[in-house]
Amino acid sequence: MDIRKIKTRTKIQDALLTLLSQLSFDKITISLLCEEAGINRGTFYLHYNDIFDVFVEIENAFYKDIMRCLESGEKDLLLLIFKGVKNHGKLVSLILLKNLDNDFVDKVINLAHDYCIYEWKKVRPDASDEELEYSHSFFSKGMLGLVCYWCKTNFKASPEDITKMVKNFASYFSISFDF
**Which three-class secondary structure string do you get for 60-111?**
HHHHHHHHHHHHCCCCCHHHHHHHHHHHCHHHHHHHHHHCCCHHHHHHHHHH
End-to-end CA distance of the chain: 59
Contacts from 20-27 at CB under 8 Å and sequence distance 24+? 20/94, 20/98, 20/100, 21/90, 21/94, 25/51, 25/55, 25/100
Q: How far apart are CA 38 and CA 18, in angstroms?
A: 13
Q: Does 66 share its domain with 37? A: no
Taking the C-alpha atoms of residue 63 and residue 112, their distance in angstroms, rounded to an integer, is 10
The per-residue pLDDT for 72 is 86
Residue 18 lies in a domain: yes
Those residues with Cβ within 8 angstroms of residue 105's Cβ, 6 or more apart along the chain or in another chain: 95, 96, 144
Counted domains in the chain: 2
Q: Is residue 143 part of a domain?
A: yes
Q: For the segment 42-57, what is each residue's pLDDT rounded down to a tens digit?
A: 999 999 999 999 999 9
- In this structure, are 73 and 155 located in the same domain? yes
Q: Is residue 25 part of a domain?
A: yes
pLDDT at 179 over 50: no
Domain shared by 39 and 94, yes or no: no
Do 41 and 116 fall within a single domain? no
pLDDT tens profile 78-94: 899 999 999 999 999 99
Q: How many other CB atoms are there within 10 angstroms of residue 80's CB atom?
A: 19
- pTM for the complete prediction? 0.85
Q: Are residues 162 and 101 in the same domain?
A: yes
Structural domain span for residue 146: 54-172
